[in-house]
Amino acid sequence: MKILILGAGAIGGYVGGRLQQSGADVTFLVRPARSEALQRDGLVIKSTKGDVTQKVKTVLNGSEGGPYDVVLLTCKAYDLDSAIEAIAPAVGPNATIVPLLNGMGHLDVLDAKFGKDKVVGGLARVGVAMSAEGAILHTSPFAAISFGERDGKPPRASLVELDTAIKKSGIDGGLNPNIVQDLWDKWIMLCSLAATCCLMRGSSGDILEADEGQAIVLETVEEGHKVAAAAGHDPGDKGMQTIRSFLTVKGSRFTASMLHDLEKGAMVEADHVVGDMIARAKKAGIATPNLRMAYAHLQVYSARRSRAG
């Protein structure tokens, strides 16, 4: 099986590096500067699960190196349009696209471009970052990706092969028959975390120190819960308890990556993570006062950033 990974950033580089380390046929579609760095220094992973530096295959155009069986999409949501343009030449008649983006909106965009039959569900839970030198830093104890058919049908052959490769690589996860529900569960949690962390400029533990902090967090979680339920994907009591428990741990230093991006003046996935949740709520007639406030805050940040160039 031939795997193409768009980019060799934090998530794509870590997943692709571990897959190649275990013997998978991996190619990275990257920009010229990243390609030069990888050819010079190799793909460098520094991890709690073991460091590795290895030479990797790179291409500058999706038309090179194929045909590919699996295309892993690991971009940020605001780069989705350019990512689609980049991978389009690599998506042949037998290719499967596995997007590892947050939220749900990207699935509609990919379906419209490539056809629903080529796009499966996928999500990543990998605590990684890029160093200034281009090394991939994995400092958390977890690293998992999961994927699966969105219609509940048995997995296609390429996903079965990818599952085998993922398990061989030491990455957790793999095939998930309930991938759409898992995507919604993660979205509720992430949307609540990003909204509250960015609005109040602190970690989840910092927020809980405020008199009304926990109440605001739980109210925000419930807004996302109502949207998911209206869409037919209620996590249920057990699922919601997991989400609430995760976001209400006293002293937690857990922080949304969106806050890190905001604090360093970078672009943020506000529209895809928070804005899309609000848009779906409006269609269902659901009020989202907390998310609305947080989204306005993020839009003001983006407007000022754009104005400043």
Active site members? 186
Could you tell me the CA-to-CA distances from 211 to 16, 174, 206, 215, 217 in Å, in that order? Answer: 44, 41, 11, 9, 12
Q: Where do we find the tokens 């976001």? A: 247
- The residues facing 71 across adjacent strands are 4, 97
Tokens coding 111: 């379906």
Residue 107 near residue 95, CB atoms below 8 Å = no
